[in-house]
Amino acid sequence: MNYISTRDSSIKVSAASAIAKGISTEGGLFVPESIPALTSEDFSVLCKMDYPARASFILGKFLGDFTAEEVDHCTNGAYKGTFDNEKPAPLYNLYGDVDILELWHGPTCAFKDLALQILPFLLTTSASKVSGGKKTVILVATSGDTGKAALEGFKDVDGTEIMVFYPSEGVSPMQKLQMDTQEGKNVSVYAIKGNFDDAQSGVKRIFTDPEMGEKLKENNMLFSSANSINWGRLAPQIVYYVSAYCDLLNGGKNPENGFNVTVPTGNFGNILAAYYAKLMGVPVAKLICASNANKVLTDFLETGVYDRNRSFFTTISPSMDILISSNLERMLFEISNRDDKKTSQWQKALKDEGKYQVDADVKAKLDDLFYGGFCDDEKTKETIKAVYDKYGYLCDTHTAVAIAVYEEYKAKTGDERPAVIASTASPYKFAASVLDALGEKPSNDEFETVEQLSKLTKTTPPAPINALRGKEVRFNNICEPENMADAVLEYLNIK
Ligand SMILES: *Cc1c(COP(=O)(O)O)cnc(C)c1O
């Protein structure tokens, strides 16, 4: 199984190389040469397995140059004893045929843990095959959750250094605290004066800057990415959609006509994984793409025009405050029948003019696959309250966006097929907004707010949140987006 680039499909590299590099030299994203198909026998076998074994089964198909032992080493290291639930990605029945896929039982309480607990294993295994003893320097742009999850995953991992850049005004107090107090001898954290897109563009610029690449090489280092542009981030996300299907079957549900999947979407990584699961044979029906007020994807799915020239909103679902959804590139590559020329043109237009329009045939395929909807902060809060009052279920702001858009989809279309809604963060990660939604005034102190939420809802805050109390702040670096490269050189102590 080799990997090709979305912008030049003549570029072909091994899985280890795709993961070690993170992004193709000309700026394209790596995708598998072909998508492995799962048979009904495969599903019967998968249904009997626990999560780490399911992950080995699925990931083994994508990791052509890994041995079975290496794959098991990665999945066991990532998923055994690291999540607060026996199942890392359990289903919670909200009502009837609607299940919540809870993806926040990991060490940083957001769905990024499912991928970032395993990425360090995948990356160090890959590097040992292809990087000839070079140190791997991970650069991360984060809208809040990736940063912390990557720091936790990579802290004190031999042969790696990790640097995280987050928008100074764009993360929740808890997210900021989680990152600024990070432990580990190979970690560094920066607040960027700008938004997530500025941080992401800055990181991409450094990755593709030949001069920076050369400097690292001279010092026996190389860059890699822990963002979902790295295939090593994406592949583990496919696993939980396969696993959710197995759990539906094990729970006696057989969605004969498929099941709908709703995903609160930002960078388009999570929903893309659901699409790949569908291509592998999981009977996913509609992919429901839920956005907040930054509804560039809703508009794109409606009109076929992707246009980032618009106001940027800071919302109560900050991990979705994104106007450039990087992984859409992989999606467009796939549904244009892997047309690397067109994919490059669209991405170039996005870079140069901030917009592009897809062809009619691509638009027709999008219509068939997707429904796009959005939900503003007011509606997000209403949804948190309604879901709590009606079902006794406490959800975070991102999950609420997904639930609201799903209900809107169902009301509009009458599509009553079974549904899985991805829940991407613990409500305690956004305690102030959640408490406010329930009609109580949050305290100015983040931990008192956590206490209030716990008392009001008689739920227990996750242990990693409690553990932040009184922890020493280690980082308070602030950086202009254009100075990110200098920050990297300075941290690495190279000229
Ligand atoms: C990252 C994140 C999202 C968006 O996921 P993408 O894969 O970037 O689309 C949604 N919710 C939460 C809580 C997140 O951390």
CB-ligand 1 contact for 117 (6 Å cutoff): no
Per-residue pLDDT tens listing for the chain (495 residues)? 999 999 999 999 999 999 998 889 888 999 999 999 999 999 999 999 999 999 999 999 999 999 999 999 999 999 999 999 889 999 999 999 999 999 999 999 999 999 999 999 999 999 999 988 899 999 999 988 899 999 999 999 999 999 999 999 888 888 999 999 999 999 999 999 999 889 989 998 998 899 999 999 999 999 988 988 899 999 999 999 999 999 999 999 988 899 999 999 999 999 999 999 999 999 999 999 999 999 999 999 999 999 999 999 999 999 999 999 999 999 999 999 999 999 999 999 999 999 999 999 999 999 999 999 999 999 999 999 999 999 999 999 999 999 999 999 999 999 999 999 999 999 999 999 999 999 999 999 999 999 999 999 999 999 999 999 989 999 999 999 999 999 999 999 997
Token readout for 203 is: 């990181």
Q: Position 13: which residue type?
A: V
Token readout for 455 is: 């008392």
| CA-nearest residue, atom 14 of ligand 1 | 319
How many degrees, rounded to 5, is the angle at CA 104 between CA 62 and CA 67? 20
Nearest of 448, 443, 449 to residue 430 by alpha carbon: 449
Residue whose structure tokens are 């992984």: 327
DSSP secondary structure string, 40-53?
Answer: HHHHHHHHTS-HHH
Contacts of 172 (CB under 8 A, 6+ apart): 144, 318, 429, 430, 432, 433
- Angle at which helix 196-208 crosses helix 484-492, to 10 degrees, equals 60
pLDDT confidence of residue 207: 87
Token readout for 216 is: 């690292």
pLDDT confidence of residue 495: 78
Residue whose structure tokens are 């009553």: 416
Question: What letter would DSSP give residue 134?
Answer: P
Distance 426 CA to ligand 1 centre (A): 12
Ligand 1 atom index nearest CA of 144 = 15
Residue whose structure tokens are 């008192």: 448
CB-ligand 1 contact for 270 (6 Å cutoff): yes
Distance 323 CA to ligand 1 centre (A): 13
Ligand 1 atom index nearest CA of 104 = 13
Token readout for 265 is: 């979407």
pLDDT confidence of residue 131: 86
DSSP secondary structure string, 352-403?
Answer: HHSEEE--HHHHHHHHHHEEEEE--HHHHHHHHHHHHHHH-----HHHHHHH
- Residues 104, 111: contact at Cβ < 8 Å? yes
Q: Establish whether 471 is a catalytic residue.
A: no
pLDDT confidence of residue 173: 85
Residue-level length of the chain: 495
Residue whose structure tokens are 């009609």: 439
Give the mutation target among 228, 267, 287, 316 for probing the ligand 1 site: most ligand atoms within 8 A of CB: 267
pLDDT confidence of residue 344: 97
pLDDT confidence of residue 57: 98
pTM check: above 0.85: yes
Residue 469 burial (10 A CB sphere; 0-12, 13-18, 19+): exposed
How many degrees, rounded to 5, is the angle at CA 424 between CA 24 and CA 242? 70
Distance 429 CA to ligand 1 centre (A): 13
Contacts of 32 (CB under 8 A, 6+ apart): 1, 2, 3, 62, 231
3-state secondary structure of 463: helix
Q: Which of 112, 286, 363, 379 is catalytic?
A: 112
pLDDT confidence of residue 196: 87
CB-ligand 1 contact for 418 (6 Å cutoff): no
Ligand 1 atom index nearest CA of 270 = 7
φ/ψ (deg, to 5) at 487: -60, -40
CB-ligand 1 contact for 320 (6 Å cutoff): yes
Nearest of 135, 168, 169, 163 to residue 147 by alpha carbon: 163
Count of Cβ atoms closer than 10 Å to residue 186 Cβ: 18
Distance 133 CA to ligand 1 centre (A): 33
- Angle at which helix 210-218 crosses helix 196-208, to 10 degrees, equals 60
Distance 490 CA to ligand 1 centre (A): 30
- Residues 288, 315: contact at Cβ < 8 Å? no
Distance 220 CA to ligand 1 centre (A): 33
Q: Which long-range contacts (CB under 8 A, 24 or more apart) does 483-487 make?
A: 484/165, 484/190, 484/192, 484/199, 484/202, 484/203, 484/205, 484/206, 485/202, 485/205, 485/206, 485/209, 485/212, 487/163, 487/190
Ligand 1 atom index nearest CA of 266 = 9
